[in-house]
Homo-oligomer: A and B are copies of this chain.
């Protein structure tokens, strides 16, 4: 099965379940994203993915494309990295979902389902190894080949480095 075939299968899997509500999406585009890398995981389809990544889970590799590899400098000082990625196999028009298929409807914003108006996934991954344009992490749950959109240091470990702001005693 090619990547495109798998993508079509995954989209078909998003067929409506009883009671789910969709909306008509606006045709406008308010901002655009650049895919800056690619995530390799052991899971070839959404059905294989775990529901939530675990920090003792399988090793996953994040490849950062040029021209962004220099932007990794200093990330090795952190134990955890927040990973943002684009859930490119998801429908975007569901506002009420029936995740347990039991008729209980939940709003999309009360779920971490990949189906959402802006299908961005976020995970706090454990940083195992970092090299030239490449990270090895644990704790992801996305499908193999998922496009990367951002990496950030864990906000809990993070101390802002920016200069003092006028009128404030110290940098916040």
Residues in chain A within 8 A of chain B (CB atoms): 21, 23-26, 28-36, 47, 50-52, 64, 67-68, 70-75, 77-78, 81-82, 84, 86, 88, 92, 95-96, 99-101, 104-113, 116-118, 120, 122-124, 147, 149-153, 155, 158, 160-163, 165-166, 171-172
Contact = CB atoms under 8 A, between A and B. Distances in A.
Given A29-B32, A32-B30, A96-B71, A153 B47 contact: no
Residue among A36, A72, A117, A153 facing the most chain B CB atoms (10 A cut-off):
A117
Nearest to A168: B50
A108 B116 CA distance: 27
State the majority secondary structure of interface residues on A. Answer: loop
Assembly stoichiometry (copies):
2
Contacts of A67: 23-24, 95
26 contacts: A23-B68, A25-B34, A28-B34, A30-B35, A30-B147, A34-B118, A47-B166, A50-B172, A51-B160, A52-B160, A52-B172, A70-B95, A71-B95, A71-B109, A71-B110, A72-B107, A74-B111, A75-B110, A77-B110, A84-B118, A99-B163, A111-B152, A113-B162, A117-B150, A120-B149, A122-B152
Contacts of A151: 109
Contacts of A29: 29, 32-34
